[in-house]
Structure 1
Amino acid sequence: MKILSAAQIKTVDQRTTERQHISSADLMERVAVLCTEEIEKRISEQAEIVIFCGKGNNGGDGLAIARLLAERDYTVTVVIVHHSEDFSGDAQINFERLNQQNKAGLTEIFGEDDFQKISVKEKTIVIDALLGTGLNKPLEGLLETAAEFINKNSHFTISIDVPSGLFADEFTPDENTCVHANLVLTLQIPKLAYLFSDNSQNVPAFKIIDIGLDQQAISEQVSSHYFSEIEDITTLLLPRSKFSHKGTYGHGLLIAGSKDTRGAAIIAAEACLRSGAGLLTVHSTKNVTDALAIRLPEAMSNTDQNEAFISDKTSLDKYRALGFGPGTGTAEETADVLKYIIQNYQGKLIIDADGLNILSENKTWLEFLPKETILTPHPKEFERLAGTFENDFDRLQKAKLFAIRHQVILVLKDAYTAICLPDGSVVFNSTGNPGLAKGGSGDALTGVILGLLTRGYSPAKAAISGVFIHGYAADLCSREISMESMLITDVIKLLPKAFRYIELKRAELG
C-alpha cells in the first residue's frame, strides 16, 4: 500500500469523483457511512457523543457522521467551532442536512467563553473533526482552544482522518497543540506521521477505512513510502515444489553467541529453521554448540577454538546466506572475523546486534559491505552507525540516505519498522506489538530473515517478508497469551501458524 502526501490524497479525491461520476458531497457521505459503522463497533447503545466540527471538509465529515449517529438514536451533540467565516461547500451541505434532521444537539463556538456551554461526561465519546490533512500551520485561536478542551476533558477521543493539529507528512513541533486521540480513523491510506513514536501521544492507534478511492488514481501517484499488509506479503511468498529437497532450500551459516550469551544463537537458529531454510550450520563457542545439540538437533554446528568468543575464520563457500552478530560480543578477534566476512563472502549477508556495534566502531568498513547486505539496527544502534537525529522524520531521512549511499537494506526496528531499500524507497511494517519489547526479539528477527535468504528470497523480499512474519507471529501470540508474559520462544512456536495463515490468504486471493 502506498503512503501518499496530503497534496496527493487531495488529487486522488478529485480524480475519484471524476472517474466514479459522483459529487464530492457523495464521497463525503460515503466516508461518513463507513466511519459511522466503525464507530458503532466501538461504542455502547447508550453512549453520549460530542462531535467537534471545524468548517472545512473534515468538519463536513463530522457533521455527516453526527447526522447518521443521531439517525441511529445515539445521543449526539455537535460543537461547531467558528474559526472562519464560511463553511466549505460540502460542509455547508451537511450542516443544512443536520439542521433539517433536527435530532442532534448543537453548540456553536464564536468565542472563548462559549466553551463553558460544553458538557463532557466521564463516558462521553468525543469525535474530533476540526481539521484534516489540509492543515498548513499550527493551531491558533478557537481551534487551539478546542483541541486543548478535548485533551483536558475527553476520556476517549476518535479523530477522523487526522488528529487536529498534527501535520500528516512532516514533523510537528512539540510546542504545537494537537488533539491526543485514542483512535484515528484514517481514510484509505495511513499518513506518514502516524508511523513515528514522536506522535504516539496523538496517534496511539489507527484504523484504515477503505472509502473506495479510485485505485488507478492512487497508482498514478509517485511515492517512495509504502505500508505492508498481508495482501502484499502473499505476493512475495515462494511456493515449495513437490520435487524439491533440502538442498533446494539452501544452506545457511549463523555466526552467533559467546560464552555468556548462548541464548541469542539458539533463538536465531530456531527462528531460521522455522522460516524455511533447508540446512543451517551454527558457528559458535563450545557452550553454545553443546546446548544446540540438545535444544535444536536439526541444526548442524561448528565449534570455535576459542571457548569465550568467536575467533575462527571458517570457510564460507558453501553457504547461500550468512547471519552475523547475535550475542557474539565485540572482541577484537570477533571483529576480525566480521572484517574477513565482508572482504570474502559472496552470498547474501545479514548483520545484527554486536555485528552492528563492531561496524559502528569501524565505519570505514561500511564502504565495503556487499551490495544489499541487510543491517537490522534498533534506534540506538542506528544512531551509533549514522549519527544523532533531531526527530523521527530526520531519522528516516538519514536512514534513507544511509541505505542509498552504502547500497544496503536497513531494517530500522521500531513499532512500525522501516525497511529502507537501496533505491530510496521505504516499506513500513504493519505487524507486531509491545510484547516484542523483550530480550531475544531481534535475534529471532535475524533468524527469520536468514531463513528466508537461505530459502532463496532476494534480500529485499526477505527483509520485508521477514519483518512482517516475525510481527505477525507475535500478534498471533498476543491473542493466545498476555503481551506482558509472552517470550520470544512463544513467538517462534507460532511462526508455523503465521506462515500457514499467509499461505491460506494467498490461496483465498487466488
Structure 2
Amino acid sequence: MKIFSKAQIYQGDALTAEKQNISSTDLMERAGEQIFNWMHMRMQGAQVPIHVFCGIGNNGGDGLVLARHLIIHGYNVNTYIINCSDKRSKDFLINYDRIKNVTKKWPELLNCSNDFPEIQSEDIIVDAVFGIGLNRPVDDWVKALFVHFRTTKAFTLSVDIPSGLYTDKAVTNEDAVVWAGYTLSFASPKLVFFLPETAKYTVQWEVLDIGLDPDFLSETTTEVDLIGKNEVLPMYIPREKFSHKGQFGHSLIIGGSYGKIGAVTLASRSALSSGAGLVSAFVPKCGYTVLQSSFPEAMVVTDVDKEEITAIKFKIEPTVIGIGMGLGISIKTSKAFETFLKTNKTPLVIDADGINILSKKKTLLKSLPAQTVLTPHPKELERLVGKWKDDFEKLNKVKIFSKKYDVIIVIKGANSITVYHDNLHINTTGNPGLATAGSGDVLTGIITGLISQGYNPLSAAIFGVYLHGRSADIAVEDFGYQSLIASHIIDYLGEAYIDLFKQPESLQVAEEDTEQERN
C-alpha cells in the first residue's frame, strides 16, 4: 500500500476534482459521507450521544458533513465549532450553511474559553478539528480541549489524522494532540501512524476510499509504502519440479565467540529454513561441537583460535555472507573483520557486532559491496548514524547514510522500516513477542538465506522482515508474547510461507457459498 505525502494528497484531490468534473465541495461530501457510512454500519441507529468537534478548515468541513448525515438519520448529535479565528475555508462555510438547513440545533460556537461541553465516558467524540494541513503550534485553549477529550475517557474517532499531529515533523507537546481510539484516514494511512513517537496517538486506523482518481492512485510513485501480503507475494520466487540445492545458493554465516555460539546457530538455522540450498558456519573452534550436534544440516568451518575469530579464511565460495552475530569486538576480531571487508566481494548482511565494529571505524563502510544489508537495533543504529532528536531526524539521517554508502538499512522495531536511499518500506507483521533474545539473529539469517536463493538484496530485506514478523504472528497463537523464543520463529517459517497463499477466511466462505449455490 502506498503512503502518500501531504503534497501528493493535495495533488490527488485537485486532479480528482478536475478529471471527474466535480467541485472540492463535492469531494468533501464524499469524505464526510464515507465516515458516516462507517459509523452507521456499526451503530445501527444507537442513541449514544455523539459530539462532533469541527475546526474551521477543510477537516472541520468533513466533520460538518458527517454531523449533517448523522442528524438526518436520527442520531443524537452535538456539533461544536472551534471558533478561534476568522480564516474559514470556503468548503467549511458551505457545509456550515447546509447543516443549518437540517436542524434547529445549530452548531455550538466554542469561543476560546475553557467552558467545555460535558461529555460522559459512554459518549463518542469525533475529532474533526485539524487535518493534514496543520502548520502552526496548537493554541493553549485547544490543547486544554484535547486534554478534556482524554479526561472524559470517551471513545474518540479522528477524521483523517488525529488533530495536532503533523505529517512531516515531530510533536513537541503530547497535550497538543488528540489521542484517538480510531482514525479514519483518506486515500492512505499517514507515516506518523507507524513511528515510535507518534503511533501512540491512534490505537487503530483504517483507510476510507473517497473515490480519488484511479490513475493518480496507481501511477503516483511514493517514497513510503506499507508492506503486507499483497506487496510481498509478487516478490516470491517459486521452485520448479526439478530444482536442486545447488540452485538456491550457499549461505555462509560468520560470527560467534566463547559463550555466544547460539547466535550463529540461530542465524544458520534460519538461513536454511528460509530456503538456502546450503549453509556453512564460520566460528571459533569452541563452536564446532555445538553446531555439529545442534544443527547437523550445517557445515562448519573453524578459526584457528578456540574462543574468538582472529582470521576470516575459508576455501568455499559462498553466494552471500551473513556476519556479526555473537562476533565480539576484541582487537583481534575487529582486525580480522577489517581485513575481510577490504578483500571481500561477496554480498553481505551485517548484524550486531559487525555493525558495532563499523561504527568504531567508519572508513570501513567504503569497503562494503553495493546494497549491503545492515540490520541494527536502535542503539546499534545510533552508533552508526549518530544521535537524533526525533523520529523524523532519525529517518533523515538513515536516508543520508544509505545514499552515501549505498547500503540497505533495516530499522528494527514494532513497525520495522527498510530504508534504501530515499525510500521507506514499513512492515506490518510482527508482535511484542519478538522482543526476545536471538530474534535479530534469526532475521539476519532469513535475509541471508533469501539473497542466497536469488532475491535481490532490497527484496530480500523487505520480504525477510515480513516473513520474520509473520512467522512470529503465527507462533504467538501457540506460545503467547512472553513465551515466544527465537527458535519458535524459525520453526514457524514454513507456516509463514504457506500463509502467503492462503485466502482470507471471508473469501473462503464466499467461495463455499457460491459452490453450494451451483450444486
TM over 0.5: yes
Cα distance in 1 for partners of 2:408, 2:114 equals: 55
Q: What does the per-residue CA deviation read over 1:25-73, in whole Å, with 9 as the maximum and x for residues that have no partner?
A: 3333332343345446777956443221112221122223334445565
Change (3 A) 1:176 1:219: farther
Structure 1 stretch displaced more, 457-466 or 196-205? 196-205
Query: What TM-score comes out, normalization by structure 2 length?
Result: 0.88
The CA deviation at 1:95 is 3.8
8 Å contact kept, 2:321–2:448: yes
Change (3 A) 1:43 1:364: farther
**Sequence identity of aligned pairs in percent?**
37
Write the mapping of 1:377-388 to structure 2, written as runs, cut at 5 A.
Answer: 377-388=376-387
Q: What does the per-residue CA deviation read over 1:269-290, in whole Å, with 9 as the maximum and x for residues that have no partner?
A: 2221221111111222455443
Cα distance in 2 for partners of 1:84, 1:357 equals: 53
Q: Which runs of 5+ in 2 are unaligned?
A: 508-519
What is aligned with 1:441? 439
The CA deviation at 1:87 is 4.8
Cα distance in 1 for partners of 2:316, 2:37 equals: 58
Change (3 A) 1:249 1:467: same
Residue-pair matches, total: 504
Write the mapping of 1:95-174 to structure 2, written as runs, cut at 5 A.
Answer: 95-102=96-103, 106-115=107-116, 118-140=117-139, 142-174=141-173
The CA deviation at 1:467 is 1.3
What is aligned with 2:7? 7
What is aligned with 1:497? 495
Letter in 2 for 1:321: V
Letter in 2 for 1:474: A
Q: What does the per-residue CA deviation read over 1:152-183, in whole Å, with 9 as the maximum and x for residues that have no partner?
A: 33343221111111111123323771212233
8 Å contact kept, 1:139–1:176: no
What is aligned with 1:227? 226
Query: What TM-score comes out, normalization by structure 1 length?
Result: 0.90
What is aligned with 2:276? 277
Q: What does the per-residue CA deviation read over 1:187-234, in whole Å, with 9 as the maximum and x for residues that have no partner?
A: 222223333222233245433333332232245655433332322212
CA RMSD, 1 decimal: 2.8
Question: Is residue 2:456 matched to residue 1:458?
Answer: yes
Cα distance in 1 for partners of 2:98, 2:39 equals: 20
Correspondent of 2:485 among 475, 480, 487: 487
What is aligned with 1:432? 430
Cα distance in 1 for partners of 2:267, 2:37 equals: 43
Write the mapping of 1:326-341 to structure 2, written as runs, cut at 5 A.
Answer: 326-341=325-340
Structure 1 stretch displaced more, 409-418 or 208-217? 208-217
The CA deviation at 1:238 is 1.3
Question: Is residue 2:199 matched to residue 1:192?
Answer: no
Letter in 2 for 1:435: G
State the secondary structure of the residue aligned to 1:167. Answer: coil
8 Å contact kept, 1:228–1:429: yes
What is aligned with 2:516? none
Cα distance in 2 for partners of 1:504, 1:319 equals: 34
What is aligned with 1:19? 19
Cα distance in 2 for partners of 1:313, 1:405 equals: 27
Write the mapping of 1:289-300 to structure 2, written as runs, cut at 5 A.
Answer: 289-300=288-299
Letter in 2 for 1:194: F
8 Å contact kept, 1:418–1:427: yes
Cα distance in 2 for partners of 1:492, 1:67 equals: 53
Structure 1 stretch displaced more, 389-398 or 432-441? 432-441
The CA deviation at 1:482 is 2.7
Q: Which runs of 5+ in 1 are unaligned?
A: none
What is aligned with 2:471? 473
Change (3 A) 1:178 1:249: same
What is aligned with 2:79? 78
Change (3 A) 1:10 1:284: same
Change (3 A) 1:50 1:482: farther
Q: What does the per-residue CA deviation read over 1:116-162, in whole Å, with 9 as the maximum and x for residues that have no partner?
A: xx122123232211010111111116533432322333343221111
The CA deviation at 1:312 is 4.1
The CA deviation at 1:382 is 1.4
Q: What does the per-residue CA deviation read over 1:94-120, in whole Å, with 9 as the maximum and x for residues that have no partner?
A: 4445444449895431241541xx122
8 Å contact kept, 1:376–1:412: yes
State the secondary structure of the residue aligned to 2:79. Answer: strand
Write the mapping of 1:280-359 to structure 2, written as runs, cut at 5 A.
Answer: 280-286=279-285, 288-315=287-314, 317-359=316-358
Change (3 A) 1:277 1:61: same
Change (3 A) 1:211 1:468: farther
State the secondary structure of the residue aligned to 1:201. Answer: helix
8 Å contact kept, 1:138–1:176: no
Change (3 A) 1:364 1:289: same
What is aligned with 2:389? 390
8 Å contact kept, 1:273–1:280: yes
Cα distance in 1 for partners of 2:297, 2:324 equals: 21
8 Å contact kept, 1:57–1:132: yes
Cα distance in 2 for partners of 1:479, 1:68 equals: 41
Structure 1 stretch displaced more, 355-364 or 424-433? 424-433
Change (3 A) 1:486 1:78: farther
Change (3 A) 1:39 1:357: farther
Change (3 A) 1:145 1:264: same
What is aligned with 1:364? 363
Question: Is residue 2:91 matched to residue 1:90?
Answer: yes
State the secondary structure of the residue aligned to 1:483. Answer: helix
State the secondary structure of the residue aligned to 2:500. Answer: helix
Cα distance in 2 for partners of 1:314, 1:46 equals: 74
Cα distance in 2 for partners of 1:424, 1:367 equals: 19
Change (3 A) 1:287 1:95: farther
Change (3 A) 1:46 1:176: closer
